[in-house]
Amino acid sequence: MKKNDTIGIGIIGSGGIGRHYINIFKKVKGARVVAAADVHPQALAEAQKLEPSITCYPHYRDLLKRKDIDAVAVCTPNKLHYQPTLDALASGRPVIVEKPMAMNARDAAAMCAAARKAKRLLMIGFQWRFTPAAQFMRKAIVRGDLGKILYVRCQALRRRGIPSWGVFGRKDIQGGGPMIDIGVHILEMAHYVIGRPTPIAADGSCYTYLGNKKPAAKCSWGVWDHKTYTVEDLAVGFLRFDTGTSLTIESSFAAHIEKDVWNVQIMGEKGGALLDPPTIFKDDMGYMFNNTPAFLGDGDSFQYKLQHFVDCISDGVACDAPGEDGLVVQKMLDSIYASSTAGKSVSIR
């Protein structure tokens, strides 16, 4: 594709996240959304309100027949990431698919294989690695400021944040609860920041104790459907990597804690780092220092993610969130859930 061409984007799945894509793509240089597909007429109607010029389809395969669609964004519920991605790649289009990549690592591996066969880009919607704070920590690690990474603690915790919309409480459609929905973000960010080491083993525990009951306290997220709730409220995992690094992850939709927590802490042999507030911890001149940047820059990491997708296609930029990263993250998620079910540590292959 020529550098100055405008890339026509097709959106598969025009629910909440799909409509967010439509809004953000308006700000992305070199791309425009030309069509959207969804099985729900109301979702398509809402999408067309945002962008009246798009053409809407009840089935994504009709969208893929259009010749003016150069790339595809898959924004469906988790269970429906797999087949649309395969079909879009087979049609010759690069694809960005929302997180998590798939319902399981087996499907994720097949999606990567399909991208290689089609010789097309498969990118995963991992925007948190593109935030200024994550990039700050990554640069410190690359420069060697932290030395060997020993331990990472990831937290994506909500005191009471069970979504009252969509299908987030249904394991058959989502694959899990907070671990696969929001834990995936903090995990992908941390794994990227520490250099993408290979995971080799996992321990995990999942607990459901609030979501499957009628809400006992008011919260800003509204009332969820406890009768269809089949996912965990709280999940914790412990991961080991081939580098000797260990990582813990805590993720909740509902937990008895003081307040929501979203953070990553890294401990290395020479120094440490914290995501929020962005800080490097070092010993220097005989003193312990906490080094915090005065300004990291700003910008919307979601917009950066979509701009990066377009730049990868039009300018040949190396992708910083490839399908292979999504596959590794999926393996870690699968293993945490598998360990919880088995009640013992499991190997990651």
* Residue 254 DSSP label: B
The hierarchical CATH code for the domain 133-298+330-347 is 3.30.360.10
Q: What pLDDT sits at residue 5?
A: 82
Q: Can you name the CATH fold of 7-128+302-321?
A: Rossmann fold (3.40.50)
Contact 338, 105 (CB under 8 A): no
**Is it the case that residue 333 has pLDDT exceeding 50?**
yes
pLDDT (mean) for 150-165:
97
pLDDT (mean) for 122-131:
98
pLDDT (mean) for 122-142:
97
Structure tokens at 42: 């109301």
Higher pLDDT, 1 or 330: 330
**Is it the case that residue 317 has pLDDT exceeding 80?**
yes
45-77: burial string, b at 16+ Cβ within 10 Å, e else: ebbbebbeebbbbeebeebbeeeebbbbbbbbb
Give the start-to-end residue ranges of the domains of the chain: 7-128+302-321, 133-298+330-347
In 3D space, the residue among 78, 88, 112, 111 whose CA is nearest the CA of residue 37 turns out to be: 88
In 3D space, the residue among 29, 33, 39 whose CA is nearest the CA of residue 19 turns out to be: 33
pLDDT (mean) for 77-82:
96
The predicted-structure confidence for 279-301, as pLDDT tens digits, reads as follows 999 999 999 999 999 999 988 99
**Is it the case that residue 145 has pLDDT exceeding 50?**
yes
**Is it the case that residue 345 has pLDDT exceeding 80?**
yes
* Residue 5 DSSP label: P
Helices marked H in the chain: 16-25, 41-50, 60-63, 82-90, 105-118, 132-142, 171-174, 178, 184-193, 301-315, 323-342
Instruction: Kindly report the length of the chain.
Output: 349
Q: What pLDDT sits at residue 307?
A: 98
Q: What pLDDT sits at residue 4?
A: 53
Mean pLDDT of the chain: 96
The predicted-structure confidence for 206-222, as pLDDT tens digits, reads as follows 999 999 999 999 999 99
**Is it the case that residue 230 has pLDDT exceeding 50?**
yes
Q: What pLDDT sits at residue 103?
A: 96
Q: What pLDDT sits at residue 2?
A: 45
Q: What pLDDT sits at residue 299?
A: 87
